[in-house]
Structure 1
Amino acid sequence: MPEYRRILLDGAVFEVIREGDELVAADGRRVKIAEAHHLPPVVPSKVVAVHLNHRSRVEEFATSLPPAPTYFHKPTSALNAHGGAIVRPDGCKYLNYEGEVAIVIGRTCRNVSPAEAGDYIAGYTIANDYGLHDFRDTDAGSMLRVKGSDTLCPLGPGLVTDWDFRGKRLRTYVNGEVVQDGSTDEMEWDMHYLVADIARTITLYPGDVLLSGTPANSRPVQPGDVVEVEVEGLGRLTNHIVIGPVAVRDDCGAQPTTSEEVLSTALGGDWEFRGIRAPQRT
């Protein structure tokens, strides 16, 4: 399966192809993967993410799926890459990982059926759909700051074409320990369905990204942690957590909170899907 990456090579952006443990540019230059400065493997005009899709996460929430998927938007300013630092703003506590498969659109897509959607997909990469749940009490429904703050959308390391999404294992690691362990087979709506659903009313352009959902056990990480998402056939996306040098401004806007809703979401439930009062946790 061909794998393409985007890197910064001698000050310029290059698309390269992976050959073993090296990346090869069109002009013949080679760089070791371990030494490469990675960029997001694609340049999307938009990133759309499904709220809830994996059955293990549904069971964790003690809820049921809606009759059709619902979505939110991550701005492109949140993009990050393999090896990049994920910034938790000073004064925030609840930055959660969410390992996912990312769908990358290959050609303009609008009003297609699920059976046709695969013809519009360029390939797949790995995403970590980080959530800054300290802002869960604000931006109700959109989750703009929760999911869209700077650095919270790492993609990579590469774009893999001709990858069959069925029956693939997804794992997330924190400091080498497995914290999420799921499969694409536990998704209620597969990759083709998600593309067709969004493209009913929203035109998808080449490079656009759809995030397909995360399995159970999204939890907060701390500055200094190394977080890796591994997907069978797609490789491993690695990032590290740092604390921002300045606190979120307090002279405007809603401030980070530690409400019951925030704790419920960050520590294993999700208020907007449960429909019941979250249990107290110690």
Structure 2
Amino acid sequence: MKRARIAYLGAIHEAVEMDGRLKLDDGRIVEEHQVVWLPPVQPRTVFALGLNYADHAKELSFKAPTEPLVFLKGPNTFVGHRAHTRRPSDATYMHYECELAVVMGRTARHVKREDAYDYVLGYTVANDYTIRDYLENYYRPNLRVKNRDTCTPIGPWLVDAKDIADPMNLTLRTYVNGKLTQEGNTRDMIFSIPVLIEYLSSFMTLNAGDIILTGTPEGLIDTKVGDEVVTEIESIGRLVNTIVGDESFNETNM
């Protein structure tokens, strides 16, 4: 089942996909273009992976890591499908990152990798923008790189885990203004989903609603104000986002 969170006529609703339309939690059926899309889950703790695809590490002239490179993201970064992402006027290189997002379904502590999928609620698509100007260390991205408001679109759907036969064999693609610019497959992750859940739960408690962003393959290019960026993952969904400038926020750089 594909689930969503949307705003419609001044109220927030849970919804499910039904024949290309949305069925709201009160039974009403609406068209997708009639709603404001919200992140399909309300993020709690969000983990992000650096350099989790060998081809991406090579693209950046880095050796593949031998231990997961994990950092945290705040909830302020997340926006929904068809939302706008802000590109600061002083940025010279801001690229997308199409990522499979894993949503935890229950409390997990000291989970073995063979049991890891039992703790997954579902999957969604994330586009974790990076403003490379501010990057000091690829192994430890700072806040100005990865925790900026509006810089992580996510959605549109949360797809139930039981509906994805093999999350470690899904094609990822990114299109900028209709042109294919990135293509990869989750099978090329250095650290698989079960390995990541085992690793994280070995030293901390994971809770329902926590999200793991699993990294991006090679194929990154700079994006400009006005670009439409589409990140899609096989069987999960197609996430649309538009880059806007500071003037859309009526304030100076943040």
- Band the TM-score falls in, shorter-chain normalisation: over 0.9
Which residue identity is paired with 1:207? G
Q: 1:108 touches 1:203 (CA, 8 Å); kept in 2?
A: yes
| Pairs within 5 Å for 1:1-282 | 2-137=1-136, 141-161=140-160, 162=162, 163=164, 164-245=166-247, 246-248=251-253
Give the drift of 1:144.
1.2
Structure 1 stretches of at least 4 aligned residues deviating more than 6 Å after TM superposition: none
Provide the identity percentage: 37
- TM-score normalized with structure 1 length: 0.84
Structure with bigger gyration radius: 1
Residue 205 of structure 1 deviates from its aligned partner by: 1.4
The alpha-carbon deviation at position 86 of structure 1 amounts to 0.4
C-alpha deviation, 1:139, in angstroms: 11
Q: Distance in 2 between matches of 1:154 and 1:37?
A: 13
- Counterpart-to-counterpart distance in 1, 2:190 and 2:77: 27
Q: Structure 1 residue 35: deviation in Å?
A: 2.4
| TM-score (structure 2 length as normaliser) | 0.93
Is there any run of 5+ residues in structure 2 with no aligned partner, and where? none
Distance 1:207 1:114 in 2: 19
Asked whether the equivalents of residues 168 and 193 of structure 2 are also in contact (C-alpha less than 8 Å), the reply is: no
Q: What is the DSSP-based 3-state SS (H/G/I as helix, E as strand, rest coil) of the residue aligned with 2:66?
A: coil
Paired AA for residue 210 in structure 2? D
- When the two structures are aligned, how many residues end up with a matched partner? 248
Give CA deviations for 1:123-157 in whole Å, capped at 9, x if unaligned: 00000010112211489824211011000111100
Root mean square deviation of aligned Cα: 1.7
The Cα of 1:67 is off from its aligned counterpart by 1.5
Shift of 1:91: 2.2
Q: Distance in 1 between matches of 2:17 and 2:180?
A: 27
Gaps of 5+ in 1: 250-282
